[in-house]
């Protein structure tokens, strides 16, 4: 009789452990399908750079660069698997500009992008020449995005990208539609000290 109770207890324990791990897997899959952000705060790893946290640098925030104040009109939150980064549409200056923000292994990376409509160039394998500069491919991939504020894009969707560099100069291609069209931007890397950030007003 004792052996029967012992075996029954073992079976129930195994069943409980199985259900626990199945529940964990289901939650993880659901979060990935819906594009929910993960709980880990990667900006906490970038010491002293909390002013670029998406909670502060959202629609309505002001970024001062040089003598110009730029208003954040919209935010794109992008993720490729577990990796997240942000793009902020800025209103100010002469051209359409974006500020890219990402944290990679505790290092805050900022990039400043300017849209180049009618550039007449498409991404290729290896290198691309644009305006006399030869750019080398850094990475390419597909990502999911969510949009808040004014970005000109739907609330959520998928995109593809190809990034190139030539020293400090950057060249980026982004595709937001289900066709072969690309949006082209040129950019450069920036330092946090080049900006003054006035956080977005709290809702």
What mean pLDDT comes out for the span 142-150? 96
- Whole-number pLDDT of residue 106: 82
147 φ, ψ (degrees, to nearest 5): -120, 135
Place of tokens 């937001």: 176
Judge whether residue 95 has pLDDT over 50: yes
For residue 56, with 0-12 CB atoms within 10 Å meaning exposed, 13-18 middle and 19 or more buried, which class applies?
Answer: middle
On whether the pTM is more than 0.85, the answer is: no
- pLDDT tier at 7 (50, 70, 90 boundaries)? low
Judge whether residue 23 has pLDDT over 50: no
Output DSSP code: residue 176.
Answer: -
- Whole-number pLDDT of residue 129: 96
Over the stretch 168-199, which tens digit does the pLDDT of each residue have?
999 999 999 777 789 999 999 999 999 999 99
CA 184 from centroid of its chain's CA atoms: 17
Over the stretch 54-86, which tens digit does the pLDDT of each residue have?
888 989 999 999 999 999 999 999 999 999 999
Of 12 and 103, the one with more pLDDT: 103
**Residues 57 and 110 sit within 8 Å (Cβ to Cβ):** no
Judge whether residue 113 has pLDDT over 90: yes
**Residues 99 and 110 sit within 8 Å (Cβ to Cβ):** yes
What mean pLDDT comes out for the span 46-56? 76
CB-based contacts of 174: which residues, under 8 Å, 6+ apart? 159, 160, 161, 182, 183, 185
* Torsional class of 137: left (φ above 0), alpha (ψ -120 to 50), beta (otherwise): beta
What mean pLDDT comes out for the span 87-109? 87
């Amino acid at each position: 009789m004792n052996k029967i109770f012992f075996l029954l207890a073992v079976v129930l324990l195994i069943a409980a452990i199985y259900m626990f791990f199945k529940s964990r897997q289901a939650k993880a899959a659901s979060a990935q399908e819906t594009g929910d952000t993960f709980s880990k705060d990667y900006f906490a790893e970038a010491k002293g750079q909390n002013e670029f946290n998406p909670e502060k640098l959202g629609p309505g925030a002001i970024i001062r660069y040089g003598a110009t104040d730029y208003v954040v009109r919209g935010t794109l939150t992008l993720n490729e698997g577990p990796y997240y980064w942000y793009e902020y549409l800025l209103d100010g200056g002469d051209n359409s500009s974006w500020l890219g923000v990402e944290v990679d292994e505790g290092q805050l990376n900022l990039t400043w992008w300017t849209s180049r409509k009618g550039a007449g160039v498409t991404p290729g394998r290896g290198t691309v020449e644009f305006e006399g500069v030869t750019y080398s491919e850094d990475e390419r991939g597909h990502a999911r995005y969510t949009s808040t504020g004014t970005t000109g894009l739907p609330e959520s969707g998928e995109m593809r990208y190809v990034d190139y560099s030539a020293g400090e100069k950057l060249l980026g291609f982004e595709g937001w539609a289900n066709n072969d069209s690309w949006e082209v931007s040129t950019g450069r890397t920036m330092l946090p000290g080049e900006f003054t950030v006035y956080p977005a007003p709290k809702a």
